[in-house]
Amino acid sequence: MKNNCIAIIPAKAISSRLPNKNIKTFLNKPIIGMTIETLKKSKIFDKIIVSTDSTKIAHIAKKYGAEVPFLRPKKIAHKVISTRPSINHCINFLITKKFKFDYVCEVYPANPFLKISDLKEGKKKIIEQKTQFVFSATNYLFPYYRSFLFMKGALKPIFKSNIKKGSQNLRKIMCDAAQFYWAHKNTWRKDKISIFSPQSSVIRIPSIRYHDIDTPEDWTRAELFYKVLKTKKKI
């Protein structure tokens, strides 16, 4: 039995910390274009849809081979913190158009370190293990349990009992790598089911391919890492 899969890229126009982040040129092409190209090369998806409120983003997305069958309604476009409403809007749109599909992979647009092998592993896990969500995750780079606050000139450890412990003795914790999120379409539509459900699973991403790109400094660092990894054929 074939499991029809679609990819949805939520790409709003507003980016408060890094203007035009979703279409900013990463080395030699718009960053969303790189993501679309990776999804196309994977040959996993029956449709690659960009959900956006921007005609400019829509134009670039179409140029690189994605579909933009609608412009996102304003009620879910303006400063929406979660992308869940835009994913569900797109799912419901496709259902009304009688398009047959089972699984949905949300993929963030600023995603130059996305690997096809990770996407395929995520697809296999969501189908075979029937977990609620499968998403990319990575280890925290620094020992979280040794973290502290520095406010008004005062230093305050968050976990006082761990200050004298060696980092090798602290629990290793992970974070969302913000690359992709697999789930069945019906799971997406159940808003009460969190991505961080106990029944969810992860695809581990090495920290060298985890870059939260939100500032000009983040962008420069990501380009440098990308060049190195490309040379070493790690992406």
Give residue 186's pLDDT band: very low, low, confident or very high (50, 70, 90): very high
Query: Residue 98 has which token pair?
Result: 């009688």
Average pLDDT over residues 14-39: 92
User: What is the percent of the chain where pLDDT is above 90?
Assistant: 68
Rounded to two decimals, what is the model's pTM?
Answer: 0.90
Question: Under 8 Å CB-to-CB from 175, ≥6 apart: which residues?
Answer: 137, 138, 139, 140
Average pLDDT over residues 187-214: 92
Query: Residue 206 has which token pair?
Result: 């090495």
pLDDT of 1 > 60? The answer is no
Average pLDDT over residues 61-88: 87
Nearest to 133 by CA among 202, 179, 189: 202
> Which residue would you say has higher pLDDT here, 159 or 87?
87
Report pLDDT for 56. Answer: 96
What span, in angstroms and rounded, lies between the C-alpha atoms of 71 and 54?
A: 7
| Phi, psi for residue 103 in degrees, rounded to 5 | -110, 145
How does the average pLDDT of the chain come out, rounded? 90
pLDDT of 147 > 90? The answer is no
Average pLDDT over residues 52-75: 94
